[in-house]
Amino acid sequence: MSRQPISHALRLLKQQKLVEENGRRGLTVSGIDAVRILELYQVRTALDALAARLAAERIAGRVIDMQQRRAAQRALSSGLALRPDAPVLEFIQADVAFHTALYRLSGNHAIEDTVAAQWPHLKRSMGAVLDDPEQRPLVWAEHQEILRFVLAGDAAGAERAARRHTDRAGGETARRLSQSSFSIGGNRDAARGAAASAVR
């Protein structure tokens, strides 16, 4: 195999800060920074709330075709159908699929494009929460509530539910990462303080 595709792939991983230079050891996988993840969730909370509002408005205005609507319903059904003991990767993939379907329902392509660039970081951190069996049904109950408001055309309710869900998920993720060996240890006090502020 040519070295060029590998070099290109490694360069992309460095740009996304998923790997970092580590002296003579070369490239190593970057640690997960709890503060950085919290910042990403703060942005995502605003985008998810907007996506839910726009999707509900489009439903109310009857400008969403049945294919888009069914795609969101299928994404929700797939997540709800997961066994409680399913591998954490399956829950992460189902979570991403649900939110992606919601972004597409919104009709705003910039929302999906913006979040897509951050999914590699978000997916790495989501396991900290979804690895807990008690969190899994809570997450999907919140997804169900969001879609219920969206499909009812209740823009305010959908926005509220989406904001509450992503806000809680971000705070819980940052809190767990700040206590985890997976997170960067250089600023653990700041990470704990930021996580605490998010869940108040």
Between 1.10.260.40, 3.40.640.10, 1.20.120.530, 1.10.620.20, what CATH number should domain 33-199 receive? 1.20.120.530
At 82 the pLDDT is: 96
At 192 the pLDDT is: 39
* Residue range(s) in the chain whose domain bears CATH number 1.20.120.530: 33-199
* Residue 110 pLDDT exceeds 90: yes
The rounded mean pLDDT for the chain is 81
Neighbouring CB atoms inside 10 A of 1's CB total 5
pLDDT tens for 133-142 read: 999 999 999 9
Q: What is the mean pLDDT of residues 70-87?
A: 96
Q: 60 falls in which pLDDT band (50, 70, 90)?
A: very high
3-state secondary structure of 46: helix
Residue type, 34: A
Residues 10, 27 contacting (CB under 8 angstroms): yes
Q: 180 falls in which pLDDT band (50, 70, 90)?
A: low
Q: Give the residue, 161 or 62, on which the prediction is more confident.
A: 161
Q: 94 falls in which pLDDT band (50, 70, 90)?
A: very high
At 128 the pLDDT is: 82
Helices (H), 61-183: 66-80, 88-106, 109-116, 119-130, 135-151, 155-178
